[in-house]
Amino acid sequence: MRSQGQVRFIRVSAKVQMVGAAILAALLLVWLISMAGMAVSQYLSTRDRLALLDREAKVATAESRVAEYRDDLQSVTQDLNRRQDALEKMTEVLPDDIKTGDTVSDSTGEAAKTVDKVSAALPEAAGLARIEARQLALVERLTRFADRRSATAAQRIRALGLDPNAMVARLNDRSAQGGPLIELFGPGKRGLDPRFERLGLSLARMDALERGLAGIPQHTPASLEYISSGFGYRADPFTGGAAFHAGLDFKGPIGAPIFAAATGRVSFVGAQQGYGNVVEVDHGNGLMTRYAHLSAFRARVGQPVQAGQIIGLIGNTGRSTGPHLHFEVRVNDRAVNPRPFLEAAAHVQQ
């Protein structure tokens, strides 16, 4: 060590080195065990969910449906009407290739067997059996549609370095929810066909993933052509020494608009040390974007914002050498590189 023209040497004994290496090895082992535990927990959670879906998707046998038709034909008619009302509401959001097709085409062939069985045992209920078979075929198409949308959203979320399963878990948190019970297909004396319940689970997962996707930065907050400083280590513009830059700097004239990078809710508006005037937007799932050095605010705390909505104007406030926007993406309050999000912005919702 050199200090004021003098040189001193510090010697580390072999024993100290061995103790230090042992401590590092122990810390590494603890970290590996914790990561393995998380991976196993995530695998078990996914496996249990798939097992649940498989159990829920087991179809009722033709014999049981015959018994239900014979037991209470009026109740069957009421249940089918409730199902039809719910299905008509669902199909309003479907693409044409999912809406079309009235033929019975369930994956197990159970619906067609049920039609034949009911028609033979109870001819007066044959028409209702055919209606139910068509409904179940549509339910399977709806379920495949929801699963396909979920898989696409999960793939896009994973490509940005985020965990879609953790996102679904947070969005489905029931710790602060309530309200009257309004069942999806209405109350009924008979148990709901498991395929309808599986559809409900698939739609819930699709909704959670797509809501999470909407909260991922997908709109550039300013022009990408004028990035004056990138994310990571750089020479500090004031001291010239090595420093860490937690975001991207977008050079622009004072008063140029700043856009929200994703759907969310404004969580902070005001001044912060070093940042000057700041707007922060909470996008859920632990994801937040920060917009700094503003000359003016165009948002207020608690305000919901959409991707591309103006939330402020470029300025030169705080620790700044010239008018620009400092933009950060933070996940669980840890700064991450915004560039992968912005470069994927044009494709993330396709």
Domain coordinates in residue numbering, the chain:
1-54, 63-172+182-214, 224-343
Cα maximum dimension of the chain = 106
What is the Cα–Cα distance from 14 to 189, expressed in whole angstroms? Answer: 78
pLDDT surpassing 50 at residue 101 = no
What is the Cα–Cα distance from 255 to 296, expressed in whole angstroms? Answer: 8
Q: Which pLDDT tens digit goes with each residue over 134-187?
A: 777 778 888 888 888 888 888 877 777 777 787 677 655 555 555 554 555 554
pLDDT surpassing 70 at residue 300 = yes
The DSSP bridge partners found for residue 297 are: 312
pLDDT surpassing 70 at residue 302 = yes
The DSSP bridge partners found for residue 335 are: 330
How far is the CA of 185 from the CAs of 89, 197, 215, in angstroms? 11, 10, 30
pLDDT surpassing 50 at residue 241 = yes
AA identity, residue 50: L
Alpha-carbon radius of gyration of the chain: 29
Q: Which pLDDT tens digit goes with each residue over 265-287?
A: 999 999 999 999 999 999 887 88
Which fold is adopted by the domain 224-343? Answer: Glucose Permease (Domain IIA) (2.70.70)
What is the Cα–Cα distance from 139 to 83, expressed in whole angstroms? Answer: 10
pLDDT given for residue 348 in this prediction = 41
What is the Cα–Cα distance from 256 to 225, expressed in whole angstroms? Answer: 14
pLDDT given for residue 95 in this prediction = 58
Report residue 259: phi and psi, to 5°: -110, 145
pLDDT given for residue 122 in this prediction = 65
pLDDT given for residue 103 in this prediction = 39
